[in-house]
Amino acid sequence: MLQKQSNLMKWLTFGIFFGLAGCNQSDDAQKKVVIKPAPKLSNDATAYAKQAWVLMNDVEPLVTATQKAVIDEKVRKPLRELGTAWKINVKMTDAVTEGKYALCRKALTSLDTWARAVKEGDASEKESQQIYLQDKAECKDALDHPKLGNTSPN
């Protein structure tokens, strides 16, 4: 009798184990992981300089209008994100690819400084604006004359 009970427990255990394993597989089929391709990274500063130019022209009116409530989220955050991506993807070893486009990255930084000064009501607001406008003009010159000081990333 003990033998039959022991065999019954073994079969019952196996049945529960395989039954639960089968239930688990159907859940896994529903939770398939989708693998997406990684974004293509570039060490070409040209693309970042052009993005910087567009971004600067998009957010500059917010700083000029002293819209302090949106400066952090709509101005400074995108400026820092683009600047960080630029620093990560165009590394020092690729510095030759940056050339005069580095002036556009400098303009991003000076726009961020000006935006911070506007938000905080800093006395250096006008000076920061002048520095930014000078840096922006140099960025525009680099974009308009890519052959002068900008080298190919290849």
Residue 30 belongs to a domain: yes
Task: Look at residue 154 and tell me if it is in a domain.
Answer: no
Contact predicate 151/96, CB 8 Å:
yes
Q: Which is more confident, 42 or 34? A: 34
Residues 65, 90 within the same domain: yes
Structure tokens belonging to residue 104:
């556009």
Q: Is the pLDDT reported for residue 137 higher than 80?
A: yes
Write down the pLDDT at residue 135: 94
| pLDDT at residue 106 tops 70 | yes
pLDDT (tens digit per residue) in 44-98 = 678 888 999 999 999 999 999 888 889 999 999 999 999 988 888 876 555 455 6
* Residue 151: CB atoms within 10 Å: 15
Are 32 and 50 within one domain? no
Q: Are residues 64 and 140 in the same domain?
A: yes
Q: Is residue 151 a part of any domain in this protein?
A: no
State how many domains the chain has: 2
Give me the pLDDT at residue 52, please: 93
Q: Are 49 and 1 found together in one domain?
A: no
**Who contacts 80 (Cβ-Cβ below 8 Å, separation ≥6)?**
112
Are 29 and 104 in the same domain? Answer: no
CA distance 65 to 78: 18
pLDDT reported for residue 16:
74
Does residue 19 share a domain with residue 53? no
Q: What is the pTM of this model?
A: 0.67
Whether residue 52 sits in one domain with residue 29: no
Question: Who wins on pLDDT, 35 or 54?
Answer: 54
**Residue 29 lies in domain:** 1-36
Query: String of b and e for 23-54 (b: at least 16 CB within 10 Å)?
Result: eeeeeeeeeeeeeeeeeeeebbbbebbebbbe
What confidence score (pLDDT) does residue 37 get? 76
Q: At what angle do helices 45-64 and 125-144 cross, to 10 degrees?
A: 150
77 and 138, same domain (yes or no) = yes
Alpha-carbon span 144 to 70, nearest angstrom: 31
Tell me, what's the pLDDT at 42?
Answer: 62
User: Is residue 53 domain-shared with residue 96, that is, in the same domain?
Assistant: yes
Q: Are 52 and 108 in contact (CB under 8 A)?
A: yes
User: Does 150 fall in a domain?
Assistant: no
Q: pLDDT tier at 134 (50, 70, 90 boundaries)? A: very high
149 domain-assigned: no
